[in-house]
Amino acid sequence: MSGFRYQPCGTIDHGIARRQFMGEFLTGGAVMAGTSLFSHPVGAGELVSRGRSMVVVYLNGGISQFESWDPKRDVETGGPFREISTTVPGVQISELLPRTAQQMHHMALIRSISTDLDDHGLANNLVRSGRTTRSATEYPELGAVVARGLERADFPLPGHITTMVGGAGGRANNAAYLGPSYASVGVGAEQGGIVNAQLPDGMTVAVDSRRHDWRRFVNSRHRSRVQSAEMDAYAQSYEQALRLMEKRDLFDISRESVAVQEAYGKSEFGRQLLLARRLVEQEVPFIEVQHAGWDFHHNNFEFHLHYVADFDGPFACFLGDLAERGLLERTLVIVMTEFGRTPGINAGYGRDHYPKAWSMAAAGCGIQHGAVIGATDAKGVEVTERKVDHRHLFHTWLRAVGIDSGGQFEIGGRKFPIADPAFGPIEELLS
């Protein structure tokens, strides 16, 4: 997979900054200077909710709210798709989501998101970090915060995993001051498990073990003279890589029954969601599943016809599967995107970027099932009720999995508010 993702409109996705580090296999090459992650206890504000997971399904590029969570009928902004009823009386979504509509009793909708950035990269950072960054300060993304907030010392897997095609364990750079241990690790739902996780031909377990014994010995000797968080992170990355290798079967979705695999479907998205379910079973704190390419400036309706269908079946299956296995009670699932699409339909029958009034959906633990937060006007142009933005959402997601979003991280003697302290969660959305 390329580390670069260009949006159709020509801007470069935020993924560049995050993924330019991925060529390095857990080597901690992106260690931030100045933190002392392993030298301090967990910050006082962090509340650990063991066993909880958060799954973000990220629809990269900006899904249209009209063609998904907030359809509008018989107005010139509405488009050709109609609304359908769901399992929640009175709540309707686009007809493109018939299977998700059958899972609405596990879900909630937020229809009143209003932000002010319409650039992919900047808006992506906005929703992921829960901050409006206009200074040099970098903030950790939601996944890093959750990985830290739900951290367990003995946990054998990375706490922050992004499923992606061909993912081979590379680290991104999205943990900011929390340090690389909380940055996302990219893995793929490949046949046979995570790629490059087996010993090379000719290398025996015994020899490999002796290599690592030697590395640990040298590290230990060096550490007796010099200590730093960077070195700790570096060494920890090796140990985590070894644990990933031991757990490689976990990433092999062919170990699921044929029936389960067929239920999730053969699409890349379905396979990634099935892997996500396996990771939820292992209590991985944060998993992101990406579904890219939603930037339909042209031919919006034809493309949504196919793209939403590609999303709908596997996603509904995923929610149903989590619910049946009792996992949804401890898992928050968020369908995230960076902004909505314009009410106005352009001359190519496309919709452009629109951060002024848009939607997200969520499901699972910590939220009111069946809730619909806020509303837009008849044409979907303005938020008319309960305007919220990325900062409210960031607080809400953390609170839903039991992390005190009003708390602070203490890093290197400095205190960092977990979420923007000027804002709070959407209380009425929380259960």
Partner 1 sequence: MSEVTVDPKAAKLRRDYPYTARLLCCRADPTGHYVVAGATDSTVQRWDVLTGERVPLVGHENWVRSVAFSPDGRLLYSGGYDGRMLCWDMLSGAVSPLRTVTAHRGWLRCLAVSTDGAWVASCGNDRLVKIWSAADGSLVREFSGHVDLPYSLQFVPGAGELVSGDIRGNVLHWRVADGEVLRSFDAGGMFSHVGDIAPFGGAIGLSFSPDRGRVTVSGLHRVSNAPAGNRRGVAMSFDWVTGEKLPLQECRQKELDATMWRAVYHPGGLMIGVLEKEIGFWHPGAEDVFHLLTTPDHIFDCDLHPSGTDLFTAHFDGHLRCWQLQG
Interface with partner 1 (CB under 8 A): 8-10, 61, 76, 80, 82, 267-268, 292-293, 295-299, 302-303, 305-307, 310, 345, 347-348, 350
CA distance 56 to 276: 10
Residue 323: both structure tokens together: 């619910």
CB of 79 to partner 1, least distance (A): 9
- Closer to partner 1 by CB, 10 or 202: give it: 10
List the one residue out of 256, 356, 361 whose CA is nearest residue 308: 361
Dist CA 345 CA 202 (whole Å):
60
Count other Cβ atoms within 10 Å, centred on residue 319.
25
Cβ nearer to partner 1, comparing 8 with 29:
8
User: Looking at beta carbons only, is 25 or 349 nearer to partner 1?
Assistant: 349
CB of 270 to partner 1, least distance (A): 12
CB of 80 to partner 1, least distance (A): 5
What is the separation of C-alpha 292 from the centre of its chain, rounded to a whole number of angstroms? 13
We find the least distance from the C-beta atom of residue 297 to partner 1, in angstroms, to be: 5
- Closest approach of Cβ 314 to partner 1, in Å? 12
Q: Which helix (H) or strand (E) holds 205?
A: helix 205-223
- Please name which of 423, 418, 391, 395 lies closest in space to residue 407, comparing C-alpha atoms: 418
Tell which residue, 314, 296, 316, 315, has the closest CA to residue 305: 296
- Cα atoms found within 13 Å of the Cα of residue 99, Cβ hemisphere only: 16
The least distance separating partner 1 from the CB of residue 310, rounded to whole angstroms, comes to 5
For residue 71, what is the DSSP state? -
Nearer to partner 1, 209 or 299 (CB): 299
> d(Cα 381, Cα 4) in Å, to the nearest integer?
32
Q: Give 311 or 397: the residue with its C-beta nearer to partner 1.
A: 311
User: Half-sphere exposure of 368 toward its Cβ, with a 13 Å CA cutoff?
Assistant: 12
Q: Look up residue 61 and give its two tokens.
A: 């590029």
Q: Which is nearer to partner 1, 234 or 349 (CB)?
A: 349
Tell me the CA distances in angstroms from 75 to 66, 229, 381, one per residue in order.
11, 57, 11
Minimum Å gap between C-beta 7 and partner 1 is: 8
CA dist., res. 260 & res. 321, Å (int): 9
The residue among 134 and 266 lying less far from partner 1, judged by its C-beta, is 266
CA atoms within 13 A on the CB side of 391: 14
Q: For the CB of residue 120, give the shortest distance to partner 1 in the complex, in Å.
A: 12
Q: Are 229 and 36 in contact (CB under 8 A)?
A: yes
Q: Which residue has the tokens 């996944």?
A: 143
Q: Which is nearer to partner 1, 352 or 389 (CB)?
A: 352
Smallest distance, partner 1 to C-beta of residue 4, A: 14
Residue number with CB closer to partner 1 (5 or 111): 5
Give the Cα separation of 330 and 431 in Å (integer).
13
